[in-house]
Amino acid sequence: MKIQKLTYIGLMSLVLMACSPRVDDVFDDTSVNRLDKRRTEVMNLLINQPNGWVMEYFAQSDATSSAVDKHKGYTFLMEFRTDGTVTVGAPVDSVFKTETSLWDVINDNSTVLTFNTFNSIFHYYSNPDPALGLWGADGEGIGGDYEFLVLQYNETENYQLLKGKKRSCYIRMYPLAANQEWEGYFTILDSMRTYLFEEALPLELYTPSKHISLYNGPTGEFRAFTFGADTLGGGEYHGFIVTNKGIRIQDQEIVETAIGSDPFHLNSTKDRLVSTANQSIYIEMNGGTAFVSSIAHGTRWQADTLNLSGAILAGIETLNGYLHSGVGSAKGNKNAHITGLGFNADNDSLVYLNVQYTTTGNNTLTDVYHFGKQYVDGNYVLTYRNAYGQHNLVNYNGEDFVKLFNGSYSFLILEPFHPSKGLQMTQLDKEDFSITLKQ
């Protein structure tokens, strides 16, 4: 009986095994062979670019504190060759230089691009040696990478995506145009940087849900605030890189607002940087912010007297009449007349209207009038408060003219990103009331 039971169990085991479905292999080849194949594909891709690659390199990301050298982006040009050498080109102390070293693609649980011999141009950003001097004596350097996980190739945007093996920053490599001279490429980047940031004024980032102010653009690291927030302290810090078409911000989220990882390209009218992934996300310079921010930092704006609108010219004509004829005990003077208008300030809460005039035809005097300012519904509202210091024009009904400037204003930058070349200030509460301001 015992033998029969054992025989029965054995037969049932065979039946169950025979009924078990066959599990196919998930992959057609071994992991080693797949990695070898991927390695060959990546090496061929890198080598077979006739004029090399543009690497948009970031070292670290940390929005909680400022570290410009660690956060901003750096551009390198690279040419990979079949003999295992790579030539790297970039500005060093403002002088374009190239240097050749070794490279490889290795299998290290993944496909890894490594720059495996020292290149003073490239390894400068990953070398922790405090003897380099630039990054201090903490032995950290800026903490960049020299080995990168090779991720997917984006066929649509034509770039190879890499990820720093240690710091995990995402890095893009674009093929460099075949006819582009290497040093000339950095001239293009310098021109773009100058165009966008020459005037060192805040930019505004707009998304469907949020309005964000971006300060400190010339440094390569934005200091970001929700628009209207107190900017005396805090903020978030986001490195970015200037490209030949605009900029690319390292982080995919700013002030709890998703902006994606795609670059911002300058549009056809060159007045806006637009996300290549979502046209409703864009960056521009706001005229009102440019005006208020600049005067708070000491800029003086002067009106173009040849481009004053009718309502302002009429007010000046009336005031000139009082200066000529006199008012009450204030004697008239046929030589006295208004010569100019301007704005400045020395704090964040006020705007000063400067009214310039002459009494002899040769001298210039200035009366100063204080206005409070308030941001309302996308425009700045100026409200007259009082005269300050010298204010002789008050004796000639000058305050009637000054009070014409009470109202809500829009500001239009006449040359994009360069308000100093022309900023049109238009009062929305009156007809034909506008001034073109210049620095």
Read off the CATH number of the domain in which 48 is found.
2.40.128
Residue 418 belongs to a domain: yes
Q: Is 351 exposed, middle or buried (0-12, 13-18, 19+ CB in 10 A)?
A: buried
User: Residue 327, SS3?
Assistant: strand
403 and 380 share a domain? yes
CB contact burial 238-262 (16+ within 10 A = b; e otherwise) = bbbbbbbebbbbbbeebbebebebb
305 and 430 share a domain? yes
Residue 25 belongs to a domain: no
CB contact at 8 A, 369 and 392: no
> Domain ends where: 180, 200, 228?
180
pLDDT value at 385 more than 90: yes
The one-letter code for the residue type at 23 is: V
Of the candidates 173, 435, 216, 184, the one whose C-alpha atom is nearest the C-alpha of residue 315 is: 435
**What are the tokens at 167?**
């710091």
260 and 307 share a domain? no
CB contact at 8 A, 230 and 213: no
- The mean per-residue pLDDT over the stretch 19-35 comes to 65
434 and 294 share a domain? yes
> Domain ends where: 147, 180, 213?
180
300 and 195 share a domain? no
Q: Which domain does 276 fall in, by range?
A: 183-284
Residue 4 belongs to a domain: no
**What digits encode the pLDDT tens for the residues 163-184?**
999 989 999 999 999 999 999 9
SS (H, E, C) 352-378: EEEEEEECCCCCCEEEEEEEEEEEECC
Cα(435)–Cα(181) distance, integer angstroms: 45
**What digits encode the pLDDT tens for the residues 348-370?**
889 999 999 999 888 999 999 99
Assign 248 a pLDDT band (cuts: 50, 70, 90): very high
CB contact at 8 A, 370 and 402: no
- In the sheet with 111-114, reading across from the earlier edge strand, the strands are 95-102, 85-92, 74-80, 53-57, 170-175, 159-164, 147-154, 111-114, 104-107
pLDDT value at 21 more than 70: no
CB contact at 8 A, 214 and 204: yes
What was the pLDDT predicted at 20? 47
126 and 84 share a domain? yes
**What digits encode the pLDDT tens for the residues 88-123?**
999 999 999 999 999 999 999 899 999 999 999 999
The distance from CA 22 to its chain's CA centroid, rounded to whole angstroms, is 57
- Percent pLDDT > 70 in the chain is 91
**What digits encode the pLDDT tens for the residues 45-71?**
999 999 999 999 999 899 999 989 889
Q: Which residue has the higher pLDDT, 14 or 152?
A: 152
pLDDT value at 11 more than 50: no
Cα(209)–Cα(222) distance, integer angstroms: 20
Residue 21 belongs to a domain: no
Under DSSP, the state recorded for 37 is H
88 and 176 share a domain? yes
222 and 157 share a domain? no
306 and 351 share a domain? yes
For residue 336, give Cα distances in angstroms to 26, 317, 320, 328, 367: 93, 12, 7, 17, 14
List of long-range contacts for 186-190, beta carbons under 8 Å, 24+ apart: 186/75, 186/90, 186/91, 186/96, 188/244, 189/75, 189/242, 189/243, 189/244
What was the pLDDT predicted at 2? 47
162 and 194 share a domain? no
The answer to pTM > 0.85 is yes
pLDDT value at 15 more than 50: no
167 and 194 share a domain? no
pLDDT value at 129 more than 80: no
What was the pLDDT predicted at 139? 54
- The mean per-residue pLDDT over the stretch 70-78 comes to 96
Mean pLDDT, the chain, whole residue set: 90
Cα(313)–Cα(234) distance, integer angstroms: 45
Residue 14 belongs to a domain: no
150 and 244 share a domain? no
Give how many domains the chain has, as a whole number: 3
pLDDT value at 136 more than 50: no
Residue 22 belongs to a domain: no
Of the candidates 268, 291, 288, 263, the one whose C-alpha atom is nearest the C-alpha of residue 278 is: 263
> Domain ends where: 215, 250, 284?
284
**What digits encode the pLDDT tens for the residues 306-343?**
999 999 999 999 999 999 999 999 999 999 999 999 99
Residue 78 belongs to a domain: yes
**What digits encode the pLDDT tens for the residues 197-231?**
999 999 999 999 999 999 999 999 999 999 988 88
What are the two backbone dihedrals, phi and then psi, of residue 294, each rounded to the nearest 5 degrees?
Answer: -70, -45
What was the pLDDT predicted at 391? 85
